[in-house]
Amino acid sequence: MIDTLRPAAAGTWTVLALQYARRTAVRGNLFHQRDERSAESQEVAYYVWLAVSQTRTVLIDAGISPATAESMDGLDYFGSPLQLLGELGPTPGEIDTCILTHLHYDHTGVVADLPAARYVVQRRELEYWNGPWAARITSEQWLHSRADTDHISFADRGGRLDIVDGDLELFPGLSVHAVGGHTAGMQVVRVNTRRGPVVVASDASHFYENIEDDSPFAILHALPDMYGAFDRIRELAAGSGTVVPGHDPLVRQRFPAVTDALGAHAVIIG
Ligand SMILES: [Zn+2]
């Protein structure tokens, strides 16, 4: 089925959001600034994104692994992101590139299950998690999987790791951009689609509310950079305004389903 979604024109892509889990959280734990709504609950949705061109199959982030999901209280896990992907067609071995927006556990879970993928990560992100500070900064440490980062780091030996400094066009029509803020080396992905540019912001803006109301998420590495990230994402999305947040259940409502069978678990962004 995925092949019917590949645009004919070179340099043009189709982007899908695949939701593999959800949970309910309290807004006071999600937003940096407390307000009168802090006691309200809010759904947190968990996604990976798939970008396909005529010749490329790119997975953006790697979700939560089944083993980790089992150990999490309150997570409604629909299944492995790879299972969802498989229902659209691509097998894990057909993913040629896995862009990691950042190295939190809910974005790296199935990296070890992608036998042919090149990993794309920002140098600052990799150096932070492999460096001396991460183990001491407990507010961030719990969000990280040592095993997943080791897998990505060791991929360098097999020539399967692309370490990026800043901005880079990986393929015609698809580029990565360092923004920082949420993590040391957070990056976003800009993809040229038939509907104009799509910016997969991932956790540079967890919810639409973060970027639309200039209201940072609660978990962050550097607050000024988080505001800088909002500005950069807006710039990168100029022309279409299509921004895809990392954890917003509204993505399901704003974009159409790929198939009736998968319903809101898989939507077409552009
Ligand atoms: Zn996340």
Which CATH number belongs to the domain containing residue 122 in this structure?
A: 3.60.15.10
Q: Is the pLDDT of residue 156 over 90?
A: no
Q: Confidence class of residue 142 from pLDDT cuts 50, 70 and 90? A: confident
Q: Is the pLDDT of residue 135 over 90?
A: no
Q: Please give the Cα distance from 23 to 106 (Å, whole number).
A: 13
Q: 102: CA distance to ligand 1 center in Å?
A: 9
DSSP letter string, 20-61:
EEEEEEEGGGTBSS--TTTTSEEEEEEEEEEEE-SS-EEEE-
- For residue 264, the SS3 value is helix
Spatial neighbors of 219 by CB under 8 A, at least 6 apart, are 139, 140, 143, 182
Q: 92: CA distance to ligand 1 center in Å?
A: 21
**Is-contact 32 210, C-beta < 8 A?**
no
| Percent of the chain topping pLDDT 70 | 100
Q: What is the mean pLDDT of residues 3-29?
A: 96
Question: Which pLDDT value is given to residue 97?
Answer: 98
User: Can you say whether the dihedral through the CA atoms of 173, 116, 265, 1 is positive or negative?
Assistant: positive
Q: 206: CA distance to ligand 1 center in Å?
A: 7
Q: What is the mean pLDDT of residues 158-179?
A: 97
Q: Confidence class of residue 264 from pLDDT cuts 50, 70 and 90? A: confident
User: Which pLDDT tens digit goes with each residue over 77-115?
Assistant: 999 999 999 999 999 999 999 999 999 999 999 999 999
- Within the chain, strands assigned E span 14-26, 41-52, 57-60, 76-77, 97-99, 118-122, 161-164, 167-171, 174-178, 187-193, 196-202, 242-245, 266-268
Q: 257: CA distance to ligand 1 center in Å?
A: 22
Q: What is the mean pLDDT of residues 129-152?
A: 93
Q: Is the pLDDT of residue 157 over 90?
A: no
Q: Is the pLDDT of residue 28 over 90?
A: yes
Q: Is the pLDDT of residue 242 over 90?
A: yes
Q: 8: CA distance to ligand 1 center in Å?
A: 32
Question: Which pLDDT value is given to residue 76?
Answer: 97
Q: 9: CA distance to ligand 1 center in Å?
A: 32
User: Which pLDDT tens digit goes with each residue over 204-231?
Assistant: 999 999 999 999 999 899 999 999 999 9
**Is-contact 5 252, C-beta < 8 A?**
no
Q: What's the whole-number average pLDDT of the chain?
A: 96
Q: Confidence class of residue 263 from pLDDT cuts 50, 70 and 90? A: confident
Question: Which pLDDT value is given to residue 138?
Answer: 87
**Is-contact 226 188, C-beta < 8 A?**
no
CA distances from 268 to 38, 96, 187, 223 (A): 32, 20, 22, 31
Question: Which pLDDT value is given to residue 103?
Answer: 98
**H helices, E strands: number in the chain:** 9, 13
Q: 252: CA distance to ligand 1 center in Å?
A: 17
Q: What is the mean pLDDT of residues 4-22?
A: 96
Q: 246: CA distance to ligand 1 center in Å?
A: 6
Q: Is the pLDDT of residue 139 over 90?
A: no
Give 165's Cβ-side CA count (13 Å radius): 0
Query: What is the number of structural domains in the chain?
Result: 1
Q: What is the mean pLDDT of residues 27-37?
A: 93
Q: Please give the Cα distance from 38 to 57 (Å, whole number).
A: 40
For residue 235, give its domain range: 2-268
Q: What is the mean pLDDT of residues 181-191?
A: 97
Which residues are paired to 163 by β-bridges?
A: 121
Q: 95: CA distance to ligand 1 center in Å?
A: 21
Q: Confidence class of residue 173 from pLDDT cuts 50, 70 and 90? A: very high
Residues less than 5 Å from ion ligand 1, measured at CB: 106, 203
Q: What is the mean pLDDT of residues 185-206?
A: 98
